[in-house]
Structure 1
């Protein structure tokens, strides 16, 4: 018997909390961030993939649901758990650092002006495409190989702003920074939704068609009403 719904939601919430916290220490750009992002997601994938699939990101969850790999009711529960987990992770960071915690450490969304809008959307879409493609390509494999695959994809996506392709982390960080008295560019939040979601959905429909290697069957194929 597989893990029940509460176990899967708990895994997604706790995993996203830990990811949000760990990514704060990998922020800064360059090779250190690339390796840090890859290692963080790979490790958490190894921990939680056997329970929930270790999506830890609403964009991954919604992309799998669009492709029919996850029921929409389950997907909604995953997204809520991820958002709550990311908020708690952000609050944990604030509690650890106090009022010295910075927006760039939390991973808050940046202001996107009209001149950089296309660049931001394309970059986020490409990053999400890489990450979601890895879930389709590797989730049918062993957990060890899957962790390496999604971790590597997340590391590569760091070149386009990896933290920003995790919608839960962005929203959790924005809410935390707002609660702590910081200023957040809420008017640009739609960019961090649309860009990654477009990239993720394109990856979902590319699975098994444009890129045959993405035809693998994910381990997290729980649907609404499936036996837990």
Structure 2
């Protein structure tokens, strides 16, 4: 497979992953959405189905959709190191495209939400709803685009992302590669999607389980660039954790596989 084929496949697959994953976050967040306040279970299953759909679309390239997976497969030997940057580039571009598509899909909801007096009062610390001194720097819709911790502790947050990513990547590596040697194949994609749901339900509470550097970084960049009024900051002080944590987790998982299962 050529580098252009890999790049295009990963771009489209990751775009769909983020469109559906970010879409469920938007659906649960916005009051003018039919899925408003559906809760964490809906988000966990939504992201699982997002992974499944993106993986089926990107099956030609092995459907990595995640730099942590690409890194682990390179360590394992299923992906050539020369192709790793191509995978990374396609995944990041796709994540950004997917985030823009979420914004377009929920354009009216974004406008209504960010002009809602209650939302503005809470974000600005007015009417006693939020103390300006303790209000988070992140804007009121950042959670639709990227992750954030419930308790801000860099060490704990990093460790949480590492552990969750190790679980994901070990499951992927032990499913066995498809015939092209680049991914897990269609049936494996279904099982990976269920693993993602399980990770979300069990390990997602502390940080929102990025477990994928571009899942967080690409949409965070889009949040910073989009002309959203009253959106607040993009919380770049935290942004390194959902990038570095999954990459470390992917590398560790690849090493564990080589030692324990290869």
Using the size of structure 2 for normalisation, the TM-score is 0.71
1:197 to 247, 250, 256: 247
Deviation of residue 63 (structure 1)?
Answer: 2.0
Asked whether the 8 Å contact 1:112–1:120 carries over to 2, the reply is no
Counterpart of 1:131?
A: 168
Mean CA deviation greater in 39-48 or 128-137: 39-48
Distance 1:172 1:41 in 2: 16
1:103 to 142, 151, 155: 142
SS at match of 1:21: helix
Distance 1:47 1:88 in 2: 15
Counterpart of 1:21?
A: 19
User: Equivalent residues in 2 for 1:36-51 (5 A)?
Assistant: 36-49=46-59, 51=60
Counterpart of 1:153?
A: 195
Task: Rate the CA distance shift 1:52–1:123 in 2: closer, same or farther, 3 A.
Answer: same
Counterpart of 2:127?
A: none
The alignment yields a C-alpha RMSD, in angstroms, of: 2.3
Counterpart of 1:94?
A: 103
**Matched positions, count:** 207
Counterpart of 2:126?
A: none
Asked whether the 8 Å contact 1:132–1:200 carries over to 2, the reply is yes
SS at match of 1:25: helix
Task: Rate the CA distance shift 1:26–1:97 in 2: closer, same or farther, 3 A.
Answer: closer
Distance 2:54 2:100 in 1: 20
Distance 2:63 2:176 in 1: 10
Counterpart of 1:77?
A: 86
Distance 1:144 1:60 in 2: 16
1:60 aligns with 2:72: no
Higher-helix-fraction structure: 1
CA deviation digits over 1:96-127, x for unaligned, max 9? 22344822122x243687x5222211211121
Task: Rate the CA distance shift 1:66–1:45 in 2: closer, same or farther, 3 A.
Answer: same
Larger radius of gyration: 2
1:184 aligns with 2:234: yes
Asked whether the 8 Å contact 2:163–2:249 carries over to 1, the reply is yes
Task: Rate the CA distance shift 1:56–1:163 in 2: closer, same or farther, 3 A.
Answer: farther
Counterpart of 1:166?
A: 212
Where does structure 1 lack aligned partners over 5 or more consecutive residues?
216-228
Where does structure 2 lack aligned partners over 5 or more consecutive residues?
29-38, 114-140, 179-183
Using the size of structure 1 for normalisation, the TM-score is 0.80
CA deviation digits over 1:164-212, x for unaligned, max 9? 11211211111111112531111222211221122111110111533x3
